[in-house]
């Protein structure tokens, strides 16, 4: 009989819907777990190998598992937001706020949201543990470990075709390939998790390029991967990009975190979490910066006169602040005829920029907008850093009525419904090298 009874599934009521979660274990450290597109939390205890993993984790931590919105028992997300990688960050933040947790350790199991969270919310992150997770899986790259040298995109299509059958076990956990009970369990998990189409789009969203994010991670980090897993090469690269990360290669070929021999993995995690973690204080965070400005503002001011121009600017400011609030952006300062704002998610930043453009168009005001994602420095109430400078220069390159983004922003919303037009390589004043820019399709 298990010494750890199956916990009750509870719900966190958030402003954007309910999130189903379970809390395991009884003592700190507090660990928030984010796992890949595998199973709903209500079925976790039905698989013996996963139960064993949970019980061992409970022996040295209090860990929280949840169904991201749009999966399992959690509420769906509106519109196309479930295709944004940042929606996982929103879920984690909503959960830790709901439970009143100041700072948590993030356990990233075949997932990406904790990586983004640690970079964008370092003040809420005590430590980060990454298990068999990549920062970048090229859609067209061939590898002998990527199913018959066919690349990631064909793999996604094959998983979509076989979704609900448990066939994915062959790729995810070779050691369980002949375990029919495990295959039936995984098939049932898939069927109750989401539809095949939803699974496909969610798998595509995990192929975003997080490499620019890794250098912004300042919290204590452990990266663990199995040497013969098809993810090994990519996991190793990710660990090398995070400054000061402890990278550990373990024997084994399973990608599924609870399959095969999990003892060495859990030993490494326990040693990392229960040791004396260094205290980190950082005034640098990852953010998406947005700059907007009114096109031909000088000519418009001259044509309207001082009083009407002031009235127009006041209406402009009201509309802009309203859209920033709606998309959870942070107003930094006015630039006279525009605004400088930041977001912790590039998808929301793009949608906000488009909403600002469209709202002001009804007033006969044409604006341009530029966005870039990078590390920024907090200086009192202001923000500074190269990323801020790049964002301003991208905005200056935008045409009238255009929302222009850097390649970093584009890569971070891969898998979403946002379409882009390639604007080619550009030089940005005061910034070395050339920068690939993309216009957001209206």
Strand-pair category, 17-24 with 10-14: antiparallel
The pLDDT > 90 percentage for the chain reads 52
Regarding whether 289 and 262 lie in a shared domain, the answer is no
Please give the Cα distance from 72 to 118 (Å, whole number): 25
Same domain for 309 and 266, yes or no, is: no
Q: Which pLDDT value is given to residue 150?
A: 42
Asked if residue 279 is part of any domain, the answer here is no
Q: Residue 264: its pLDDT value, please?
A: 93
pLDDT at position 198: 78
Quick check: 290 pLDDT over 50? Answer: yes
Range 106-120 average pLDDT: 90
DSSP code for 368: E
Are both 35 and 65 inside the same structural domain?
A: yes
Q: Inter-axis angle of helices 196-205 and 152-161, to 10 degrees?
A: 160
The pLDDT of residue 83: 60
Report d(CA 135, CA 93) in Å as an integer: 21
Token match 């919105």: residue? 69
CB atoms within 10 A of CB 410: 22
Tokens matching residue 57: 């984790």
pLDDT tier at 343, thresholds 50, 70, 90: very high
Q: Which of 240, 274, 308 is the last residue of a domain?
A: 274
Greater pLDDT, 139 or 181: 181
pTM: 0.84
Same domain, 298 and 246: no
CATH number of the domain that residue 100 is part of: 3.40.50.1820
Question: How do strand 338-343 and strand 284-294 relate by DSSP bridges?
Answer: antiparallel
Looking at residue 308, what is its pLDDT? 86
What dihedral angle (degrees, nearest 10) is formed by the CA atoms of 144, 145, 147, 151? -80
Relative to beta strand 330-334, strand 284-294 is unpaired
Looking at the predicted structure, is the pLDDT value of residue 147 above 70?
no
Q: Is residue 104 part of a domain?
A: yes
* pLDDT over 60 at 437, yes or no: yes
Output the pLDDT for position 283: 72
Q: What is the pLDDT of residues 164-220, one digit of tens each?
A: 898 888 888 989 989 999 999 999 999 998 888 777 776 665 567 788 888 889 999
Tens digit of each residue's pLDDT (9 = 90 or more) over 22-81:
999 888 889 999 987 789 999 999 999 999 999 999 999 999 999 998 889 999 877 655
For 362-413, the pLDDT digits (tens) are 888 899 999 999 998 876 667 878 899 999 999 999 999 999 999 999 988 8
- What is the count of structural domains for the chain? 2
The model's confidence at residue 282, banded by pLDDT at 50, 70 and 90, is low
Mean pLDDT of 150-176: 75
pLDDT digits (tens, 9 = 90+) for 293-333: 999 888 888 888 888 888 888 889 999 999 999 999 999 99
Domain that holds residue 266: 10-274
Residue 381 lies inside a defined structural domain of this protein: yes
Indicate whether 222 pLDDT > 90: yes
Q: Is residue 3 assigned to a domain?
A: no
Q: How far apart are CA 334 and CA 352, in angstroms?
A: 16
Same domain as 234, residue 356: no
Question: What are residue 157's phi and psi, to 5 degrees?
Answer: -65, -40
Question: Is the pLDDT confidence value at 338 over 70?
Answer: yes
Residue 151 has pLDDT above 50, yes or no: no
CATH of the domain at 432: 3.30.70.1230
pLDDT (0 to 100) of residue 321: 94
What's the whole-number average pLDDT of the chain? Answer: 86
**End position of a domain, from candidates 243, 274, 305:** 274
Residues 113 and 235 both lie in one domain = yes
- Name the pLDDT band for 144 (thresholds 50, 70, 90): very low
Is there a single domain that holds both residue 151 and residue 174? Answer: yes
* Residue-level pLDDT at 140: 42
């Amino acid at each position: 009989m298990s010494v750890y009874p199956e916990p009750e599934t509870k719900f966190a009521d958030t402003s954007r819907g309910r999130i189903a979660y379970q809390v395991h274990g009884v003592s700190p450290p507090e660990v928030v777990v984010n796992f890949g597109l595998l199973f709903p939390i209500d079925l976790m205890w039905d698989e013996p190998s996963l139960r064993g993993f949970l019980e061992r984790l409970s022996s040295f931590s209090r860990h929280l598992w949840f169904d991201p919105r749009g999966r399992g028992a959690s509420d769906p997300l509106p519109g196309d937001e479930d295709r944004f990688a940042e929606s996982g960050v929103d879920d984690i933040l909503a959960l830790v706020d709901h439970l009143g947790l100041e700072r948590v350790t993030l356990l990233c199991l075949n997932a990406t949201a904790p990586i983004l969270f640690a970079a964008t919310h370092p003040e809420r992150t005590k430590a980060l543990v990454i298990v068999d997770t990549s920062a970048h899986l090229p859609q067209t790259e061939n590898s002998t470990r990527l199913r018959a040298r066919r690349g990631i995109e064909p793999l996604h299509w094959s998983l979509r075709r076989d979704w609900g059958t448990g066939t994915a076990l062959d790729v995810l956990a070779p050691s369980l390939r002949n375990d029919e009970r495990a295959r039936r369990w995984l098939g049932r998990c898939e069927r109750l998790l989401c539809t095949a189409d939803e699974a496909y789009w969610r798998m595509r969203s995990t192929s975003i390029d997080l490499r620019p994010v890794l250098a912004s991670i300042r919290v204590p980090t452990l990266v663990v991967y199995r040497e013969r897993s098809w993810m090994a090469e990519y996991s190793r690269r990710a660990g090398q990009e995070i400054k000061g990360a402890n990278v550990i290669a373990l024997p084994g070929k399973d990608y599924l975190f609870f399959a095969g021999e999990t003892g060495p993995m859990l030993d490494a995690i326990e040693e990392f979490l229960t040791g004396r973690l260094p205290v980190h204080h950082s005034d640098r965070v990852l953010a998406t910066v947005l700059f907007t400005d009114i096109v031909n503002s000088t000519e418009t001011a001259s044509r309207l006169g001082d009083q009407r121009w002031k009235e127009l600017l006041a209406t402009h400011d009201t509309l802009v602040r309203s859209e920033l609030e709606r998309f959870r952006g942070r107003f930094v300062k006015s630039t006279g005829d525009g605004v400088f704002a930041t977001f912790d998610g590039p998808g929301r930043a793009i949608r906000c920029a488009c909403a600002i453009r469209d709202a002001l168009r009804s007033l006969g005001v044409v604006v341009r907008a530029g966005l870039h994602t990078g590390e920024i420095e907090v200086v009192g109430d202001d923000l500074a850093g190269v990323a801020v400078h790049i964002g301003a220069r991208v905005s200056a390159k935008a045409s009238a009525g255009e929302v222009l983004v850097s390649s970093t922003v584009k890569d971070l919303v891969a898998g979403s419904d946002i379409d882009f037009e390639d604007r080619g390589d550009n030089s940005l004043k005061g910034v070395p090298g050339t920068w690939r820019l993309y216009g957001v399709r209206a």
